[in-house]
Copies of this chain bind each other. A is one copy, B any other.
């Protein structure tokens, strides 16, 4: 299958997946910020975990109008910039364009569905550790994988077709039956680790696991997320907490993406990872005292930092 693919948000995630698809011969068009000239000149370099891939020719643009209609659009902007999407995406759409959000947390598919119709929305969960080490270089620390699913209902032929395109590009990709359930399952990990790593003093997952009290907190936060998921109608099993702990024990000293954002002085994805899950938990009457505490504190940390930086609480636009 050949798709005309648009990549919106060319940070590490967008550049990596877009780069792999382009290298495999798909027609890929990147929306870029300031790095446009540099990437046009030098291409992209994907490296790490046994890979060393140079893609000399990258189609990049600073406006979605210049890209025009695509068959598939990958959304990889930070969720804090979601409010720009309704204005940004329309030039990329034809009648059957599919929108696949690779973003963190909850609420991203809903935003796309509200503005562009639920029937064209898919979501992907990225389990990979990527770092942009120069304007044209993305380093991966692990092989990683991506899970994709439909926003509405079980997988369709198109879901497996897109997964096939990812697989043919050398990416580990599987299709999930129930995307919402898998989003909550990922939150079981992100809600505790992404917050505690920042709040407990800027520490990695290994340091969290090594501290009895922090491990207690982690497990208890995980149980709150599982409880909320179940009350929201997603049959997430209780054992998901222990499974995530076991998986984390194999990961070494891992820094969650929000900790990297924090240490890099970037805004944090507060609403997608903590705010929206909390609102959904509250709407169904799930008790989530720890989630609320973490949300309140992180939200303040993010605001205080942005005020100190003089940028105010506003969004960093993508383009």
The reply to whether A301 and B200 form a contact with Cβ atoms under 8 Å apart is yes
- Known: A199-B199, A201-B305, A305-B201. Contact between A211 and B290, CB under 8 A? no
Interface string of A250-291 (1 = CB under 8 A from B): 000000000000000000000000000000000000000110
With the chains together, A289 CA to B202 CA distance in Å? 22
A295 at the interface (CB under 8 A from B): yes
The reply to whether B202 and A296 form a contact with Cβ atoms under 8 Å apart is no
The reply to whether A300 and B200 form a contact with Cβ atoms under 8 Å apart is yes
* Nearest Cβ on chain B to A36's Cβ, whole angstroms: 35
In addition to A201-B304, A211-B299, A293-B294, 17 A-B residue pairs with Cβ atoms within 8 Å of each other are A199-B297, A200-B297, A200-B304, A201-B300, A201-B303, A202-B304, A203-B304, A207-B300, A213-B292, A213-B296, A214-B297, A216-B292, A220-B289, A220-B293, A290-B290, A290-B293, A293-B293
Interface string of A91-132 (1 = CB under 8 A from B): 000000000000000000000000000000000000000000
A217 at the interface (CB under 8 A from B): yes
Residues of A whose CB lies within 8 Å of any CB of B are 196, 199-203, 207, 211, 213-214, 216-217, 220-221, 289-290, 292-297, 299-301, 303-305
* Nearest Cβ on chain B to A299's Cβ, whole angstroms: 6
* Nearest Cβ on chain B to A170's Cβ, whole angstroms: 39
With the chains together, A221 CA to B290 CA distance in Å? 10
* Nearest Cβ on chain B to A59's Cβ, whole angstroms: 42
With the chains together, A296 CA to B214 CA distance in Å? 5
Across the interface, which residues of B come within 8 angstroms of A199, CB to CB?
Answer: 199, 297, 301
* Nearest Cβ on chain B to A292's Cβ, whole angstroms: 6
* Nearest Cβ on chain B to A161's Cβ, whole angstroms: 43
Name which residue of chain B comes closest to A295, CB basis.
B213
* Nearest Cβ on chain B to A298's Cβ, whole angstroms: 8
* Nearest Cβ on chain B to A297's Cβ, whole angstroms: 5
The reply to whether B300 and A211 form a contact with Cβ atoms under 8 Å apart is yes
With the chains together, A129 CA to B216 CA distance in Å? 35
Choose among B214, B221, B292, B305 the residue that contacts A300 (Cβ–Cβ < 8 A).
B214
* Nearest Cβ on chain B to A308's Cβ, whole angstroms: 9
Across the interface, which residues of B come within 8 angstroms of A203, CB to CB?
Answer: 300, 304
* Nearest Cβ on chain B to A135's Cβ, whole angstroms: 31
Name which residue of chain B comes closest to A212, CB basis.
B296
The reply to whether A297 and B220 form a contact with Cβ atoms under 8 Å apart is no
